Structure 1
């Protein structure tokens, strides 16, 4: 499901309240109905739509009663500014993702730690297992404490990344405004969008058109104006910034 469909789905206040409740614990239809103050039939309709979207799943208990829970983690982002409107949905990346490939991000945490690995014995360097020996309880407590500490580290990282994202968004807006002030021909928003696409390495008119969602003829006119001003240059079909 794309981000626009997620927005439509979550535009309903009762569906948002259902997800908020299910984020705390799995629930039966009757529990959700009492929480929302609406009929079970209405709850079932909301749950069906959430299930169809893959956000909620159902299971049956030993008394054959169906209960519901959130099925996966989804992050939905909406950007609204004088220069941009966009929505983006994202799912957790694989644990094998190489975060070091992100050129603008430096993270000091031990991101390569295997969270599923058994705690290691400090004396032998071998994996410990939860046996029945006298130290089993202490070892398990140590592992739980270590995992809780790591969880705290990554929750702190998430908060810091959110703050960094807000800071970056502010810088992007300021830079777009500064760029617009220096553009004395054409629509500053259109011209800056084309320039950013070229700066990112998108060099041909058709590709720039797709990226900016601007007709190719308009993109070509903008590039010709920028070339006349000495800001971009063309070699064959490829455009680049004059640096």
Structure 2
């Protein structure tokens, strides 16, 4: 049987990112182990410096097994980084959907709910692993532009869109006046998460918790002082 006959089912999505279809539970488990060890190696050494031999040794598999699951080093890198990015954000839309924006009747309640969502978003995007991923994607952006595009689309889907939905609800309740909800979501993120994200990305000694605390409440207050309907 040829190597191509024994490979797992591999495909790519419309962004050129690998789609993996495991044949069975054992295959999926082995792939998860390879992905975990590969991500650790890429974190430490980047794409060029990472060794497939080291990944195989850490995962306790052979190099042909890695290539059977991921085809080549490039698809291995794309696959494991894309999965890690998606996993870091996956709880945010669930949280946003559970927050009672439809029951808000005053400014203080509105501010508290926005802070709950943005605190969770800050925890997701400012965690050590996701910041390390951010540095990795930035460093490899020229070689793998599809990862940068994926990051942007995940931010839109997992953070911007839930905020836009919350803004629409708060507008219906007569609390906000927002002519462009997409722009407003980007502005709120910039005021609360964007600056600390920039700081911790390039200053590794900075505490992520301290960086977020400095911006969260004041950023929401500044945002609401402009968009609250009664103040316009």
TM-score in terms of structure 2 length: 0.30
Name the one with the larger strand percent: 1
| Larger of the two Rg values belongs to structure | 1
Larger RCO: 1 or 2 (CA < 8 Å, sep 6+): 2
TM-score in terms of structure 1 length: 0.29
